[in-house]
Amino acid sequence: MKKVYFIVIIICLLACKREIDYSNLQEEDINRENFDPYLMVITDDYDVEIFHNMTGDYPDGTYCAEVEYYNPNTGTRNTYTLNVDVEDGDLTVIHWPNGGWLDETHFSPENISYGEISFISDRGCEYVVTLGDYGGGCYSDGKQLQNDVNIDIEDTTCPNCGGNKDVYEDLCYSCTEERESVCPRCGSYKISFDEYCNNCQDELTNEE
Ligand SMILES: [Zn+2]
Ligand SMILES: [Zn+2]
């Protein structure tokens, strides 16, 4: 009799170890002990939910996302719907429709396990990204974002050296300093807040 029980247990174990067909996932597969969410073929938001519930992360792929953009230098603030990429649970790329993008060269990838993150780009712009539908393909106003960003970049880039400048200034601090350190009369060095260099100042004083 004991032998029969043993065989029943063995059969049950073998049955439970049945291969899961990840390309055709069944409802009951998810509760199986050997179910591996990382082998899932993610196709829709339902799959995303299962993966997120089991791993705590959003699966790799492209998502629609609401992107709030704020530039404290220029005061530009807008919200856009854009495609974003998630890789290893991190937000890695924000796509603009005409080939532009914001990637890890402009911000450090951050974990987006709560479906929302905020970060500050290398240009000092603040972004809040909220993940939406899986699959992407939802460019609504990315052109506007790129336009805004380009205007902001122009407004905060020194035309002389390409460095960062204040939006209200013509040139960056060091270029302004440099320009103001040139004597308008002879072209040699002067202290920035003096009108002329020492030589010219002396000559002008003597002429009077
Ligand atoms: Zn400059
Ligand atoms: Zn001078």
Q: Which-ligand-closest: CA of 204?
A: 2
- CA-wise closest residue to 73 among 147, 156, 151, 149: 156
How many helices (H) and strands (E) would you count in the chain?
5, 7
Distance 180 CA to ligand 1 centre (A): 12
Distance 155 CA to ligand 1 centre (A): 13
Q: Which-ligand-closest: CA of 182?
A: 2
Distance 186 CA to ligand 1 centre (A): 23
pLDDT for the residue 128:
93
Q: Which-ligand-closest: CA of 197?
A: 2
Q: Which-ligand-closest: CA of 195?
A: 2
Whether pTM > 0.75 for this model: the answer is no
pLDDT for the residue 28:
83
Give me the average pLDDT of each 10-residue run along the chain (208 residues). Answer: 58 62 81 87 90 93 91 86 91 74 74 91 86 83 73 86 87 91 93 91 87
Contact 83, 64 (CB under 8 A): yes
| Per-domain residue ranges of the chain | 16-55, 61-155, 173-207
